[in-house]
Amino acid sequence: MGYTNCGKTTLIKALTGDAALQPRDQLFATLDVTVHAGTLPSHMTVLYVDTIGFLSQLPHQLIDSFSATLEDVIHSDLIVHVRDISHPETVNQKENVLNVLRNLQIPDRLMSSIVEVHNKIDLVDSYEPCEPNSLPISALREQGLEELKIVVEEAIVRSTGKQVLTLPVDLSSSQLSWLYKEATVQEVDVNPDEGSAVVKVIISAAAYGRYRKTFQLS
């Protein structure tokens, strides 16, 4: 989320490779929230929700429509706040976004884990990070995106309560196919002589419980 023309759609296009996304330099190009699938370094699939851009002095007749588009934020696992760091009002814009989120009564877990992205650093001469924990990027030039993906992945794992586990797997059973279906498989180290493998996965506590029960593991 972020202000209109801060580069949200361009960023999602760069993160997902969705060529159908065409950023437009106009206010409220659509009042539809769009969703786009992307893959993180661990191979975990995530959905990026492109919210409507904020606008200073929003016309009164659009306030309800705009607020309604942000309701999905409450149900998200993570908020990525995209800022046009080249904009002269970027500091005020940040405060306006945070105020709107507070007014929407966004859960504390989301407010405390916001990933702040400083976009358009290519438009700033000799850019230097001015705030702690902010991530400098250029969505247009695809700079800084790998670091952003890593930060997003770590935050998603924390917010969803998932675990990173290394599990021994019997290849004569359906354990591996089960893990591919119910978890995010990161690495598979096969031992062909023993017909086994060591599998590194990202898995929820509930799914891990089902896995142990399904295959009667102690």
Q: The domain spanning residue 180 has which CATH number? A: 3.30.70
* Spatial separation of the C-alpha atoms in residues 35 and 8, rounded to whole Å: 12
Q: Are residues 200 and 182 in the same domain?
A: yes
Q: Which range (100-104, 111-115, 151-155, 186-190) has the least confidence?
A: 100-104
Q: What is the pLDDT of residue 63?
A: 62
Q: Are residues 27 and 85 in the same domain?
A: yes
Q: Are residues 12 and 40 in the same domain?
A: yes
Q: Are residues 147 and 200 in the same domain?
A: no
In what helix (H) or strand (E) does residue 46 lie, and over which residues does it extend? Answer: strand 45-50
Q: Are residues 89 and 128 in the same domain?
A: yes
Q: Residue 188: which domain range?
A: 161-214
The 10s digit of each residue's pLDDT in 30-59 is 556 789 999 999 989 999 998 878 877 666
Q: What is the pTM of this model?
A: 0.84
The 10s digit of each residue's pLDDT in 118-133 is 999 999 998 988 888 9
**Count of CB atoms situated within 10 Å of the CB of 51:** 18
* Spatial separation of the C-alpha atoms in residues 167 and 197, rounded to whole Å: 8
Report the percent of the chain where pLDDT is more than 70.
90
* Spatial separation of the C-alpha atoms in residues 115 and 131, rounded to whole Å: 12
Q: What is the pLDDT of residue 149?
A: 96
Q: Which residue has the higher pLDDT, 199 or 55?
A: 199
Asked whether the beta carbons of 116 and 131 are under 8 A apart, the reply is yes
Confidence category of residue 28, pLDDT binned at 50, 70, 90: low
Q: Of 17-21, 30-34, 70-74, 201-205, which has the strongest mean pLDDT?
A: 201-205
Q: Are residues 205 and 146 in the same domain?
A: no
